[in-house]
Amino acid sequence: MTCLYGSVQVLGFTVGQEQPPYHLYSLPTHAALTIEALPHCKPGRTKREMKMEAKAVLRQHIASASRHTLMKEVTSSCSVLLLERLDTPETLFLSSFPEYKEIFASHSKRMISGKLAFHECAALTSIGVVVLPDDQGMNMSESWMATVQELVKTCLEDDNGCPVILTCGGKNVGKSTFNRHLVNSLLNHIPCVEFLELDIGQTEFSPPGCMALHLVTKPIFSPPYIHQCEPRKMVYYGNVLCDRDPDRYMEVVRYLYAEYKKEAPLVINTMGWIKGLGLSVLVDLIRLLAPTHVVQLVTTKGSQDSVVLTPEFVQTATGWQTKGKHQIQQKSVDLRTSSSSSDEEVQMHVGLQGHKLMYIHSEFPGVEDGSCLKYRSNVLRDLALLGSFSHLQPLDISHPLSLHSMLPYQVPFNAVALHVLHCDVTPTHILYAGNASLVGLCRIPGGVNSHADGPVLLSQAPICDCFGVGIIRGINLEKRLYYILTPVPVAKLKQVNCLLVGAITIPHTVFRNQPGVTGEVPYLTSDYSFTVSGAGKIKVCNSLRRREHPKAMS
């Protein structure tokens, strides 16, 4: 989309006629983008002069016959857009998988607007654009808009211009959309915004299972699986929930937050898990990160059950690692009678200075109703992973290459350490666990010093930099080599000395979509028995006890 005349607003970002073209992705996996024309005027110019300027712009792009008809509809306050069909390596690669082909196809017959007849939109449908009913676009409540405006004003008026904004709420209440709208609105006035990604299940700029700090300099006009990008700092957590290891989750948060230099506003995205242990972790996040503003999104239905995250609540609530204010006071009394206790225990509670709570009621159709979602969270995670691997595609290719046809890197066993996250694997089975698995490509301090022929194993999960993800597509025991396929640039790969295997699985469509393979398709089998001990679906235990119940744990 190029704005030729006037100005428009898309998801909070204003596009004017002096700006470059922008790629817009309005896809059925997310709410459709809304292009809104903004009123504009030019001091010292008459309406006739402004209309003649619009006519001069159209003359460069439209034939005279069509231009004469179109000019009857153009006024001095109109905005003129040039829309062109967009095909990129990412869209070509993702649409090459049969499961996702429909995402990039136009469903114009069932997307006809009630206000505008389909035959009047022929110019738009010729490039894949269809007009939708109003309720399928961005639906933002008054509290939503007021909150964004106030936050933008705060960023502009703040002395250092660096407020810390934490967004929280349950599942499917619009946190990600709000964050995109907020970031875009801020980019209208400032050159960059920092983004701390703490939602490991529904990441914005990184592969699933990653936690990262990003520097955002361009507006966001696409779903996460389209705009995967290189972070400032990233850690591979290796799961979509932190319930298995909340302590490591909090360590990663500290590691990433230490990189934030307070040179730009910080927007923090959190998980949609806000009950039980999830609430305890959220309380710890607020205390640790000490945000200046907490934006809590709720629904009319869910607001009755949700906890209001006021500064008073955060000060008194019990976190996963930290204690409430009344517990600290009690501990201080105990310290006077016990010289063996440590002062550090009293200092566990941080963030007592408080924050400003901003409450938003989400009112879009299907809010908090998972049954209304056409694409489940696991599908969006698979798309995000495929979006990362789409960067392997050549820029000038018209037919996407399948992953199995690409040449992998070969990595000696003794050049990298290997570790499986969130579970214990016996050393004799470690290569079985790693083969055909998604791995985080990381760098541990100190390097790997080993002269052994076998794989180098780590005894515990490290907190270290991650440069991206890869697939161990094969292991050669004779040559002691891993074969790894990854979109990470070579300059970054030279620093990788650790492979972390997590619970994030390779999308099944990658295994099924291997055209050209003769004989048995690698890693697929129909000879599988669920009667074998250990076979079948893994059952997740959700009976994790909270720390404040030590008696129940014994």
Rounded CA-CA distance 223/228 in Å is 9
Rounded CA-CA distance 384/201 in Å is 11
Amino acid at site 320: W
DSSP code for 292 = S
Residue found by looking up tokens 């306050």 in the block: 77
Contact 246, 271 (CB under 8 A): no
Rounded CA-CA distance 42/18 in Å is 14
Q: Residue 392 domain-assigned?
A: no
If you write DSSP's letter for every residue of 343-368 in order, what string do you get? Answer: GGGGGG---TT--EEEEEEE-STTTT
Q: What pLDDT score does 346 carry? A: 33
Ranges under pLDDT 50 in the chain: 108-119, 330-352, 540-554
Same domain, 368 and 235: yes
The angle that helices 175-187 and 142-157 make with each other, rounded to 10 degrees, is 40
Q: Residue 538 domain-assigned?
A: no
Whose CA is closest to 200, among 229, 173, 240? Answer: 240
Give me the CATH number covering residue 470: 2.40.30.330
Rounded CA-CA distance 24/10 in Å is 9
Contact 187, 219 (CB under 8 A): yes
Cβ-proximal residues to 248 (8 Å cutoff; 6+ apart), any chain: 237, 242, 461, 463
Q: Residue 97 domain-assigned?
A: yes
- Give the end of a domain, one of 319, 353, 372: 372
Rounded CA-CA distance 306/313 in Å is 12
Same domain, 48 and 112: yes
Mapped onto helix, strand or coil, the DSSP state of residue 132 is coil
| Number of domain units in the chain | 3
Amino acid at site 262: K
Q: Which residues pair with 194 in a beta bridge?
A: 215, 266
Residue found by looking up tokens 């995000």 in the block: 384
Q: Which tokens sit at 464?
A: 């270290």
Q: What pLDDT score does 547 carry? A: 46
- Give the end of a domain, one of 120, 136, 152: 136
Contact 174, 368 (CB under 8 A): no
Side-chain-side CA neighbours of 380 within 13 Å: the count stands at 20
Q: What pLDDT score does 40 carry? A: 78
Same domain, 229 and 172: yes
Q: What pLDDT score does 481 carry? A: 96
- Give the end of a domain, one of 356, 372, 388: 372
Please give the C-alpha separations between residue 473 and each of 112, 405, 413, 430, 463, in angstroms, as whole numbers: 45, 11, 14, 15, 25
Q: What pLDDT score does 121 carry? A: 65
Q: Residue 541 domain-assigned?
A: no
Same domain, 321 and 345: yes
Rounded CA-CA distance 47/76 in Å is 5
Burial zone of 530 (CB within 10 Å; 0-12 exposed, 13-18 middle, 19+ buried): exposed
Whose CA is closest to 198, among 268, 278, 277, 291? Answer: 268
Same domain, 359 and 274: yes
Give me the CATH number covering residue 174: 3.40.50.300
Q: Which tokens sit at 116?
A: 């505008």
Same domain, 208 and 115: no
Q: Residue 540 domain-assigned?
A: no
Torsion angle, CA of 528/529/530/536, rounded to 10 degrees?
A: -20
Cβ-proximal residues to 147 (8 Å cutoff; 6+ apart), any chain: 295, 358, 360
Q: Which tokens sit at 204?
A: 């914005």
Q: What pLDDT score does 302 carry? A: 56
Q: What pLDDT score does 297 carry? A: 93
Mapped onto helix, strand or coil, the DSSP state of residue 244 is coil
Q: What is the pLDDT of residues 436-491, one digit of tens each?
A: 999 999 999 988 877 777 899 998 999 999 999 999 999 999 999 999 999 999 99
* Domain ranges, residue 472: 404-512
Cβ-proximal residues to 450 (8 Å cutoff; 6+ apart), any chain: 414, 456
- C-alpha dihedral sign at 165, 171, 174, 176: positive
**Length of the chain, in residues:** 554
The angle that helices 47-59 and 64-71 make with each other, rounded to 10 degrees, is 150
Mapped onto helix, strand or coil, the DSSP state of residue 167 is strand
Q: Which tokens sit at 397?
A: 């290719």
pTM of the model: 0.87
Rounded CA-CA distance 500/20 in Å is 40
Same domain, 270 and 319: yes
Cβ-proximal residues to 334 (8 Å cutoff; 6+ apart), any chain: 341
Same domain, 462 and 365: no
Rounded CA-CA distance 104/58 in Å is 29
Q: Which residues pair with 166 in a beta bridge?
A: 268, 294
Same domain, 20 and 153: no
Same domain, 217 and 355: yes
Q: What is the pLDDT of residues 380-430, one digit of tens each?
A: 999 999 999 999 998 877 788 999 989 999 999 999 999 999 888 899 999
Q: Residue 45 domain-assigned?
A: yes
Contact 473, 483 (CB under 8 A): yes
Cβ-proximal residues to 284 (8 Å cutoff; 6+ apart), any chain: 250, 319, 320, 321, 322
Same domain, 268 and 309: yes
Q: What pLDDT score does 358 carry? A: 94
Same domain, 67 and 180: no
Q: Residue 178 domain-assigned?
A: yes
Cα 190 → chain centroid: 22
Q: Residue 399 domain-assigned?
A: no
Q: What pLDDT score does 114 carry? A: 43
